[in-house]
Structure 1
């Protein structure tokens, strides 16, 4: 058996499906197309990076660490010639609000308000050093309604954790594709799901595998070695540690309350197949 989940990890598992509604419902993609963006992935990269501004392909790839730079370059900077970041962001926020409102389970206004209060307090505990994407999302004005605020707070928190995960992966000496291979080697997600969604070619995948074998992190059957398993556990531990700010701010009692309120929402999203499991994000059913 692996180590028990930390409080920071359980917190992420409870709220990640709420954020992920943006990727698995039709409304955001339809909104992106309506403002002129071409194709799902252009809408994805422009919508996710819009708070940062009209970034070029290299900057977008740095911020979208898990993705092939060539996949990012097919969307950026062309997206900004079709719709400016402010327009993309505004339409995305409204589309996601509509989508979340549609797929939410019945939730009392008092419970929803309390969950939003806790998540926004957790956001206030985020430090943004070295976390450009999370910092940009933290500057997005709060929507007027609870559903919009719920999604935005969940988004800032997951980008804060995600930026910290990138710090941990880079510190471990892995590239984006190498991180993907080690993730697949844990058995928690398939190569097909990660490679296809992140845009890596077979030659790129095979070359990364050879590098990891040479480092002693994978064996010749693409399984984690003892050293590779230890490194992967260190990365996950560091990710949890770097996500501790919001948890510390809420305290154990506050985090447990947030999990109690958020987890049933996220379980509903998984059970109604709004959010598929497994998924490229790695989010489980909480």
Structure 2
């Protein structure tokens, strides 16, 4: 029987990969082509548009792991696509991707049923993007609903993880370089590959033992912070969620 912390640890990789998979999908690429915007312009307008039509500094405050100049350039570069419309399009892409990828998986309805109370009862403190995305209406069909809920949980972990990184005194680039990353839409990736994907300028310094140790402790802290989120599930429900997401991840 999985306790809440074990659940947080077991589901973080599939939720990270599936919940964020639509962000690098052909569905999002179609938005770029339709509106004449670059991938990162659509990414920031779509993902962070739940914050409203705000100054780029507001977006930088939540996009912790990206260089500030890149966030500002991308957010402002996409302003011809209004924030509320960008969120609508991004949400539709999430749904379409979910239907395409998980449409044949019968477990989606149960995944959604299990994740809904997790999302509804979680505290939004320290996770503005989670709060914004939680307010976005859910679709009725199970594949789209399950993927949107996974995306929302992913935003919660991301926000709490950013807090843990900063509290540990790590620079976001250090935190990115000092570990391998499994819970991304890109799959298992080295830190340098993720840093490059986030557009941090090279060359990268090799993280020392202290940084690596602090980054490992940050992961533990993030798991600790996520544990209460899953306490709304019974042990048997936690086991069921882990099993369902393991199967979904295998897809």
* TM-score normalised to structure 2 length: 0.88
Q: Does 1:247 align with 2:235?
A: no
Aligned to 2:150: 154
Contact 1:127 1:245 in 2 (8 A): no
Q: For the residues of structure 2 that align with 1:37 and 1:89, how far apart are their CA atoms?
A: 16
Q: Does 1:140 align with 2:139?
A: no
Q: Aligned runs of 1:98-109 on 2, under 5 Å? A: 98-104=96-102, 106-108=104-106
Contact 1:124 1:246 in 2 (8 A): no
Aligned to 1:180: 176
Q: CA deviation at 1:70?
A: 1.6
Aligned to 1:70: 69
Q: CA deviation at 1:266?
A: 1.4
Larger Rg: 1
Q: Secondary structure at the match of 2:169?
A: coil
Aligned to 2:214: 231
Q: CA deviation at 1:85?
A: 1.3
Summarize the Cα distance change of 1:114–1:39 in structure 2 as closer, same or farther, 3 Å threshold: same
Q: CA deviation at 1:237?
A: 0.9
Summarize the Cα distance change of 1:21–1:189 in structure 2 as closer, same or farther, 3 Å threshold: closer
Q: CA deviation at 1:30?
A: 0.9
Deviations 1:233-286 (A, max 9, x none): 220111001111321111322121111112111111xxxxxxxxxxxxxxxxxx
Aligned to 1:218: none
Q: Which runs of 5+ in 2 are unaligned?
A: 182-187
Q: For the residues of structure 1 that align with 2:21 and 2:216, how far apart are their CA atoms?
A: 28
Q: Secondary structure at the match of 2:140?
A: coil
Q: CA deviation at 1:96?
A: 2.1
Q: CA deviation at 1:8?
A: 0.8
Q: For the residues of structure 2 that align with 1:88 and 1:32, how far apart are their CA atoms?
A: 11
Equivalent of 1:125 in 117, 121, 127: 121
- What is the CA RMSD across the aligned residues, in angstroms? 2.1
Contact 2:7 2:242 in 1 (8 A): no
Report how many aligned residue pairs link the two structures: 241
Q: Which runs of 5+ in 1 are unaligned?
A: 210-221, 269-286
Q: For the residues of structure 1 that align with 2:56 and 2:7, how far apart are their CA atoms?
A: 36
With CA pairs under 8 Å and 6+ residues apart, which has the higher RCO, 1 or 2?
2
Q: For the residues of structure 1 that align with 2:49 and 2:36, how far apart are their CA atoms?
A: 13
Q: CA deviation at 1:165?
A: 0.4
Q: CA deviation at 1:192?
A: 4.1
Q: CA deviation at 1:223?
A: 4.8
* TM-score normalised to structure 1 length: 0.77
Equivalent of 2:81 in 75, 83, 98: 83
